[in-house]
Amino acid sequence: MHESLATPPGYIVVEGPIGVGKTSLVNRLAQSFAAETLLEEAEENPFLERFYNDGRQAAFPTQLFFLFQRSRQLAGLRQQDLFRRALVADYMLEKDRLFAGINLDAQELNLYEQVYERLSMEAPSPDLVVYLQAPVDVLMTRIQKRGRVQERRMEAAYLQRLSNAYTDFFYHYEKSPLLIVNAAEINPIERESDYRLLLERICSVRSGKHYFNPAPLLL
């Protein structure tokens, strides 16, 4: 049974770099709000393992596959009248562009941008974006803990570039209300008190940019 809460935003996106805890939080929020989920389906990308083994050679097909996959999902939401049902997602289409900027060379990126501009018009804007931040050492620890084989070669330098790209993107982001969360100092998945605090903030944000950085509770 979902918890009794103030009316949440109808379409929430949880974003952040690899290993920050997006999907775990999405699943918990969906349970609280009795909402549906829209999740990345990275395991469907046939190029992803090759990318982790040889990023330079496999980056372009990997990125195009994700772009087409995500744009189809989001276009489908528009057709189903998204704003009449609660939904929590663990990605936004713009994140694909961040990864492209890091992984593609200049010629590939130019071609990618042409395709992206054709597809991104179908993406609906969230009612709230929850951006999870954490230092690279925390991300590396979490990635190792979850033990996904294809991620075992991921380097800290790559995660740092990705984190920097996210920071820059959300510094300028104005399309939707934004809640920036320090995900290193709290544990909303395993610690109920942290989750309740975060949940209250999510339900209260209706406009502008906000920060959630409470001191961790001592057990």
Identify whether 160 is part of a domain: yes
Q: By three-state DSSP, how is residue 212 classified?
A: strand
Q: Is 208 annotated as a binding residue?
A: no
For 50, the domain range is: 11-212
Distance in angstroms (rounded) separating the CA atoms of residues 110 and 117: 11
Residue with tokens 């510094």: 171
Per residue in 195-208, pLDDT (tens digit) is 999 999 999 998 99
Identify whether 72 is part of a domain: yes
Count structural domains, the chain.
Answer: 1
Q: Is 137 annotated as a binding residue?
A: no
For the segment 61-75, the average pLDDT, to the nearest whole number, is 90
Q: Hey, which residues are catalytic here? A: 90
Residue 80 is predicted with a pLDDT of: 57
Alpha carbon 199 to its chain centroid, in Å, reads: 17
Identify whether 2 is part of a domain: no
Identify whether 219 is part of a domain: no
Distance in angstroms (rounded) separating the CA atoms of residues 10 and 83: 6
- Looking up residue 180, the CATH number of its domain turns out to be 3.40.50.300
Identify whether 3 is part of a domain: no
Per residue in 22-59, pLDDT (tens digit) is 999 999 999 999 999 999 888 899 998 888 887 778 99
Of all residues in the chain, the percent with pLDDT exceeding 90 is 59
- Mean pLDDT estimate for the chain: 86
Residue 155 is predicted with a pLDDT of: 86
Residue 83 is predicted with a pLDDT of: 52
Is the predicted pLDDT of residue 15 greater than 90, yes or no? yes
14 membership: H or E segment, kind and range: strand 11-15
Confidence band (pLDDT; 50, 70, 90) for 4? very low
Q: Is 19 annotated as a binding residue?
A: yes
Q: Is 79 annotated as a binding residue?
A: no
